[in-house]
Amino acid sequence: SKKIMADHGVTVQRFFVADSANDALEAAQRLKAKEIVLKAQILAGGRGKGIFNSGLKGGVHLTKDPKTVEQLAKQMIGYNLSTKQTPKDGVTVKKVMVAEALDISRETYFAILMDRACNGPVMVGSPQGGVDIEEVAVTSPELIFKEEIDIFEGVKDRQALQMAKNLGFQGALQQQAADQIKKLYNLFLKIDATQVEVNPFGETPEGQVVCFDAKINFDDNAEFRQKEIFAMDDKSENEPIENEAAKYDLKYIGLDGNIACFVNGAGLAMATCDIISLNGGKPANFLDLGGGVKEAQVYQAFKLLTADPKVEAILVNIFGGIVNCAIIANGITKACQELELKVPLVVRLEGTNVQEAQRILSESGLPITSANDLEDAAKKAVASVARK
């Protein structure tokens, strides 16, 4: 995110990324900085308070000595870092950021994000930065400032200046902060972001406004025109099954239950997971087929689900709006026959071409349990596991 910001004229610290202790040492020497900050690079927050399985405490360290950077990097690279946002065993650190450390005289929070309630982007800011913004929202809601942005007109000068004022910037720093805010909005549009969150958005004793850290989310639908950005996607921290699912345009998230969910649409997938839980079961995953489903995708989805040893039953819950239920039914029968399905299968289909789909399933001769609605499907899936 620092590189993307720097490319768009936003002020960030000077930095290098290293994937070995030797590279980290060289980077520290090249910076010629009074003080250096070393940060473990993983896709999770809470790194400063994290713990490595090498025994090192903290994924963020400050030092004035390049040699110390090398020693610290040796205890970071190749080791797992556990934070409040990682799995229990942590995530392997493969890279570290070596950056010029700047003193921060004041920390604020600034973000631009897409807000459904406003039908467009909003700016959110707080003079209380460098801390958990959710906590600020609960303890001091009056310190959260929100400003809607007209998608056609962009951030107006007065809006940017007002936000800078709300964040507590004074004198010449107010205009500097407003300029940074406008640059961040231009970046937000240009890279098809859904969120640009800068925390801390700080000022230095030398009178400079700097974006010290940022989290950026991108619109998946913009992949076709943001090739460079999406090429940066580091999938090494994903579960292998999630990467396999992505090859077939399937969204897969592993959970710790035993009833596999096979659904089209994220909202329906969440509702299916909830109703399984309400009926005393536990979902094994969240698998979203999306809208433009092909028969081959259905087959691949079943292949993924049946490869998971935790799965003791499969619940198919399809609402055919864009999706043709007959395509799903053909995919199910093909998958059941070729993969020799060994676990109970409960199917609830509704919508486009549903009668044809039900005929395909009933004439297949396969042991498929049909359900009338979502509640019925969940009860039958939970019961099939209980019987086992």
**Residues 183, 161: Cα–Cα separation, whole Å:** 13
Alpha-carbon distance of 1 to 181, in angstroms, equals 16
209 pairs with which residues across the strands? 203
What does the block give as tokens for 231?
């090429």
Dihedral of alpha carbons 191, 193, 199, 200, sign? positive
Contact (CB, 8 A) for 8 and 183? yes
Residues lower than pLDDT 70 in the chain: 291-293, 387-388
265 annotated to bind ligand = no
Q: 60, 69, 90: which is closest to 78 by C-alpha?
A: 90
First to last CA, the chain: 49
55 is in an annotated binding site: no
363 burial via Cβ count (<10 Å: 0-12, 13-18, 19+): exposed
Token pair listed for 193: 């972001």
| Residue 308 contacts residue 339 (beta carbons within 8 Å) | no
Residue 293 is predicted with a pLDDT of 66
Cite the beta strand spans of the chain per DSSP E.
Answer: 15-18, 36-40, 51-52, 60-63, 80-82, 91-92, 96-100, 106-115, 120-126, 145-148, 193-203, 209-211, 214-218, 251-254, 259-263, 285-288, 313-320, 345-351, 368-370
Residues marked active site are found at 109, 197
Residue 22: other Cβ atoms inside 10 A: 12
Q: What is the model's pLDDT at position 176?
A: 97
Q: Is 7 annotated as a binding residue?
A: no
Say if residues 95 and 114 touch (Cβ distance below 8 Å): no
Q: Would you say 51 is a known binding-site residue?
A: no
Tell me what pLDDT residue 80 has.
95
What is the per-residue pLDDT for 292? 64
What is the DSSP track for 93-156? Answer: ---EEEEE----SEEEEEEEEEEGGGTEEEEEEES--SS-HHHHHHH-GGG-EEEE-BTTTBS-
Q: Coil, strand, or helix at residue 33?
A: coil
- Residue 322 annotated in ligand binding: yes
Output the pLDDT for position 248: 73
pLDDT recorded at residue 73: 97
Count Cα atoms within 13 angstroms, Cβ side, for 58. Answer: 7
What is the token pair recorded at 174?
A: 């107010």
At residue 362, what is the residue type?
A: S
Lookup result for tokens 């310190």? 143
Helix, strand or coil, per DSSP, at residue 303: helix
d(CA 99, CA 207): 19
Q: Is 43 annotated as a binding residue?
A: no
Indicate the angle between helix axes 295-307 and 325-339, nearest 10 degrees. 40
Burial call 153-182: b when 16+ CB within 10 Å, e when fewer? eebeeebbbbbbebbbbeeebbebbbbbbb
> Is 13 annotated as a binding-site member?
yes
Structure tokens at 251: 């969204």
Answer whether 257's CB lies under 8 Å from 276's CB: yes
What's the chain's Rg over C-alpha atoms? 25
